[in-house]
Structure 1
Amino acid sequence: MKKILYGLYILIIIGIIVCLINSDIFNKKESEAIFAGEKVYKKQCLICHGETGKGEGPNAGTAINNQNYLNTVSNKDIYNSIKYGRNGTGMPAYEERISENDLKNLVAFIRDWQTEEIKFDVPKVIAGDPVAGEKLYNLKCLNCHGEAGVGKLKMGPAISNSEYLKYTSDKQIWISAAYGRENTSMGPSLKGLDGVRQLKKEEITDIVSYLRSVKVQEESRTDYLKP
């Protein structure tokens, strides 16, 4: 019996050692990916998104280093936004510009900006009235995001773009509209928060439904503006 217990004890110790070794290897690989991704970012992204990722680059670029955004998107979402870009805007597709490995490292670098976990209060079902949403959009959002969400230079990004709508869920759009992005011109819109716009949950849902409906109109538009 003692031999069996001794054997189990040895196995447990070995298992702990293996886990610690694997953890060190993982952390090392993650650090290497972040370091490599930083180099890619400085070469490819800094000019628009800025040195700190807050949209302060010489060219117009959206802020991607803020906690609301990073808590809304997955690594796959970031990957898709870089790989496929946004047609007709200042954000090009990088699938033929950088290697797959560089793309993954870039995602790791951007994800490393996240420093906190945020839980958002989001409706379980996001299905509203696009007609009512259009009226609200024109009243509350058009000034920054442009007619039908095509975007305005140095004001607001394109939010009816086909790539954006393809790779962004209704829940993600709702969160962006409701909670905004801290340290940017996009303040919160949900009633009860400190934003200028005070919209009910249902009204934000209507706006999301409207933005989803204008997707079909995009192919006929030629007046794109850079985000």
Structure 2
Amino acid sequence: MKKILIGSYVLIIIGVIFGIGNSGIFDSKNSKAIASGEKIYIKNCLVCHGETGKGEGSNAGTAINNQRFLSIVSDKDLYNYVKYGREGTAMPAYGPRLSEKDLVNLTAFMRNWQTKELDFNVPKTVSGDPDRGLKQYNVYCLNCHGEAGAGKIKMGTALSNPQYLKYTTDKQIWITTAYGREETKMGPSLKGLEGVRQLKKQDISDIISYIRSIKENKEVPNDYLKP
């Protein structure tokens, strides 16, 4: 009887260990990537994006440790943002500075900030009137994002930046405009949410259409991170 009980306990313990292993808690490969990525982040990114990634660095930097942001971007997006940077801004292209492995590890570190996956109510297609969007933009967005989406330091992203437009989809811009980013100056704009701006869905689509029309995308590389 004791042998049977002991055998059962052993099987249970093995099962628990196997389950934990499969859960990714002991994923040593990913843990190593995250640890390496943290070192790269501290050396290259902390001064702008802050110790916690919430944009609290001594220099101007976007809040990237943000659940709404992390819920709408893929690893490929994060990788491209770092590799190609934003020309004409304080965000340099790290492709020439970091190895492919470094870029992948840094992506893993940033992804590790995500603690939940959020769902958003987004139109199936984002289509609007850029002329009407310009009027809306000048009323609701210009103060932070500047004339023609040029951006303002420590205020708002440069929306007309060619890398931003290249590597950010209309739906991603729509979600950021509608839902904002928690713990930042970018509050929600969609009607019914707790924001100062109360815009209809179509209003937001019009603004996105204007942003897309500000200037033509410049030719930038398109070699995405391969799975």
Q: Tell me the TM-score normalised to structure 1 length.
A: 0.85
Mark the runs of 5 or more structure 2 residues left unpaired by the alignment. Answer: 1-16, 220-227
Is the counterpart of residue 83 in structure 1 residue 83 in structure 2?
yes
CA offset digits 1:64-120 (Å, max 9, x no partner):
001000001000000000000001011100000111101000000000000011000
Work out the CA distance in 1 between the residues paired with 2:158 and 2:24: 42
Runs of 4+ in structure 1 deviating by more than 4 angstroms, as ranges, are 17-26
- Cα RMSD, aligned residues only: 2.1
Q: Which moved more, 1:19-28 or 1:124-133?
A: 19-28
Partner SS state of residue 216, structure 2: helix
Task: Give the match for residue 139 of structure 1.
Answer: 139
Percent identical = 67
Give the whole-Å Cα distance in 1 for the aligned partners of 2:113 and 2:94: 21
What's the CA shift string for 1:183-215, capped at 9, x where partnerless? 000000000000111100000000000000012
Aligned to 1:166: 166
TM-score normalised by structure 2 residue count: 0.85
Mapped partners of 2:120, 2:88: distance in 1:
31
Aligned to 1:3: none
CA distance in 2, matches of 1:68, 1:24: 23
- Number of equivalenced pairs: 204
The alpha carbon displacement at 1:53 in A equals: 0.2
**In structure 2, how many angstroms separate the alpha carbons of the residues matched to 1:206 and 1:122?**
14
In structure 2, what is the equivalent of residue 193 of structure 1? 193
Q: State the secondary structure of the residue aligned to 1:215.
A: coil
Q: Does structure 2 retain, via aligned residues, the 8 Å contact 1:84–1:95? A: yes
Verify: 1:98 aligned to 2:98, yes or no: yes
Aligned equivalents of 2:23, 2:121: Cα separation in 1 = 34
3-state DSSP class of the match of 1:122? Answer: coil
Residue in 2 aligned with 1:154? 154
One-letter amino acid matched to 1:29: K
Aligned residue in 2 for 1:206: 206
Answer whether contact 2:165 2:217 (CA < 8 A) is retained.
no
